[in-house]
């Protein structure tokens, strides 16, 4: 009886081992084929293929630099700085949130820059897509309206400073100013304008804070934070004078 049980157990173990081996073999034969990735440099069959690769590389570079382009070559810098200053002047801490301020600044930037973008589209992008001009000429024509916009917002003093830092002589006309000199000059001018607007915004709210603090001090309510009392008055003043309308219109 014991011999029979041992034989049965041995046969069962052998059967399980055979089934496991067969299952592994079947999975190896019918399993999914994993793809391989090959990275290398191959010879282009036609010059057009090489040109297309360069265009794709240029496009990826532009897309990666798009945030910096939006910040440095548009009115976004002035808008976002002014919005941040007015939030601090009101004393509303994180209201409106950063996402709201940045989104509003982006929308206003697209609105302000729309004439420039329309000119770039009509004079550079569309002729290039129609193969009327080459890539170099399209880039030159696309940059011209943007440069004109930056020149209108750039102070001559800031432009002269960066020309001096770059070690270049004073140009006889604006077309001779390098773009790498124009961009930082434009950014500095935008920051200066934003701080000037912020100073004018701070004055009425600062007066309210001083009046509220003096009243609380004279009443002996030194434990009550002044900003808790002045905040409703500052919000009421901002709403009554239609602050957002005045603010956006002044920029």
pLDDT by residue (tens digit) across 158-168? Answer: 888 888 887 77
pLDDT by residue (tens digit) across 132-165? Answer: 777 778 778 888 888 888 888 888 888 888 888 8
**Pairwise pLDDT comparison (191 vs 171), residue with the higher score:** 191
Q: Is the dihedral of CA 117, 100, 186, 204 positive or negative?
A: positive
Q: Are 49 and 63 in contact (CB under 8 A)?
A: no
pLDDT by residue (tens digit) across 90-148? Answer: 887 777 888 888 888 888 888 888 888 888 888 777 877 777 777 778 778 888 888 88
Q: Of the candidates 142, 110, 143, 113, which has an alpha carbon nearest to the alpha carbon of residue 125? A: 142
**Which residues have CB under 8 Å from 120's CB, separation 6+?**
141, 142, 145, 146
6 pLDDT above the threshold of 50: no
pTM: 0.67
Distance between CA atoms of residues 45 and 37, nearest Å: 22
């Amino acid at each position: 009886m014991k011999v029979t049980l041992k034989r049965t157990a041995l046969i069962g173990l052998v059967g399980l081992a055979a089934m496991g081996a067969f299952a592994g073999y079947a999975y190896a034969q019918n399993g999914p084929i994993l793809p391989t990735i090959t990275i290398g440099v191959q010879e282009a069959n036609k010059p057009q293929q090489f040109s297309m690769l360069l265009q794709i590389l240029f496009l990826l570079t532009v897309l990666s630099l798009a945030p910096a382009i939006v910040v440095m070559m548009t009115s976004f810098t002035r808008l976002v700085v002014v919005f941040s200053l007015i939030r601090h002047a009101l004393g509303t801490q994180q209201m409106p949130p950063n996402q709201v301020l940045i989104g509003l600044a982006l929308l206003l930037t697209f609105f302000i820059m729309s004439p420039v973008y329309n000119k770039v589209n009509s004079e550079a992008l569309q002729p290039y897509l129609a193969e009327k001009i080459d890539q170099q000429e399209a880039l030159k024509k696309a940059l011209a309206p943007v440069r004109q916009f930056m020149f209108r917002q750039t102070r001559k003093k800031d432009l002269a400073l960066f020309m001096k830092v770059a070690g270049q002589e004073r140009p006889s006309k604006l077309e001779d100013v390098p773009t790498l000199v124009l961009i930082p000059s434009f950014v500095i001018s935008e920051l200066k304008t934003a701080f000037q607007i912020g100073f004018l915004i701070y004055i009425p709210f600062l007066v309210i804070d001083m009046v509220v603090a003096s009243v609380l001090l004279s009443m002996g309510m030194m434990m009550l934070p002044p900003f808790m009392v002045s905040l409703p008055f500052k919000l009421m003043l901002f709403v009554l004078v239609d602050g957002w309308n005045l603010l956006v219109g002044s920029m």
